[in-house]
């Protein structure tokens, strides 16, 4: 049912950079959805958030025309402070994963390449179509059910690469969760590196700017780094020791200058809570 409020104006204020691969569109969708829930008197209904997630996904898929999944919307509406969010996208079950970065003397650095990207330009949809085609060829409803051996049975090199990324990325996610829950968050760096290599080589969604800042961050002491978001620009993240923040940031900016690239934006971030009502 629609909500009709004559003369209503919606004001939006955000500090999420636009087009930086940091879920700005999902953040806007979550904010508008919660505003609508507030008008309907249901902002405090915890079950409603799951319905709002599905509505936000439809907004991306059917209105914007971007064939995205629901990761960004789910995090925007369900995240817990200080935690990552493990999402089982088959049924959208979620589990918070307490990161413990500060206790380990670590930080997450976000490196915004300032190269704008859009998920509605067809590239993301092509990757999704490749994954669907790979699943059909393997006779699977879900590509995530494929094994490494299944991947090697794919005859098309492009589909094999796309499927290999999906399968190995799921393995990396499970490995990261296991390490973090064991209090070994400082050991996830190589998994971040492996993720970037897979996104670059098998999924082919990286960009020169992303590769440069990721490599520069590693060489300057980052424990691991990878691109984030839909790719083709946007941002990368680096896991760093808090004491190395200045050196890593300086090295990343210098590397971009040396390559004649746009100077990136650098910020360290903490894991915040989901969108919520203002007091």
Q: Could you give the CA distance from residue 5 to residue 23 in angstroms, rounded to a whole number?
A: 28
To the query of whether residue 112 is one of the catalytic residues in this protein, the response is no
176 close to 108: Cβ distance less than 8 angstroms: no
Residue in 15, 44, 45, 72 annotated catalytic: 72
Helix (H, G, I), strand (E, B) or coil at 218: helix
240 close to 106: Cβ distance less than 8 angstroms: yes
What are the distances in angstroms from CA 142 to CA 51, 71, 126, 163, 193? 23, 17, 17, 11, 26
What's phi and psi for 238, nearest 5 deg? Answer: -135, 135
The runs of H, that is alpha helices, within the chain are 24-39, 48-58, 71-78, 123-138, 148-152, 157-181, 189-201, 208-219, 245-258
Task: Show which residues are catalytic.
Answer: 72
């Amino acid at each position: 049912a629609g909500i009709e409020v004559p003369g209503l104006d919606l004001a939006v204020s955000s500090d999420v950079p636009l087009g930086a691969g940091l879920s700005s569109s999902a953040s806007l969708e979550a904010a508008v959805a919660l505003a609508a829930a507030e008008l309907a008197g249901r902002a405090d209904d915890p079950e409603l958030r799951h319905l709002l997630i599905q509505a936000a996904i439809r907004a991306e898929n059917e209105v914007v025309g971007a064939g995205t999944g629901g990761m960004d919307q789910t995090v925007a509406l369900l995240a817990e402070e200080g935690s990552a969010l493990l999402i089982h996208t088959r049924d959208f079950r979620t589990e918070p994963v307490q990161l413990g970065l500060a206790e380990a003397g670590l930080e997450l650095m976000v490196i915004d390449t300032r190269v704008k990207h859009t998920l509605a330009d067809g590239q993301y949809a092509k990757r999704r179509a490749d994954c669907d085609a790979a699943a059909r060829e393997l006779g699977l409803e879900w590509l995530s059910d494929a094994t490494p051996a299944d991947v090697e049975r794919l005859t098309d090199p492009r589909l094999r690469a796309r499927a290999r990324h999906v399968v190995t990325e799921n393995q990396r996610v499970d490995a990261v969760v296991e390490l973090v829950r064991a209090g070994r968050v400082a050991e996830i760096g190589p998994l971040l590196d492996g993720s970037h290599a897979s996104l670059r080589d098998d999924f082919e969604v990286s960009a020169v700017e992303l590769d440069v800042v990721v490599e520069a961050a590693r060489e300057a002491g980052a424990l691991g780094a990878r691109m984030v978001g839909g790719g083709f620009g946007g941002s990368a993240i680096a896991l760093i020791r808090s004491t190395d923040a200045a050196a890593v940031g300086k090295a990343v900016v210098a590397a971009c200058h040396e390559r004649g690239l746009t100077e990136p934006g650098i910020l360290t971030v903490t894991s915040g809570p989901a969108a919520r009502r203002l007091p």
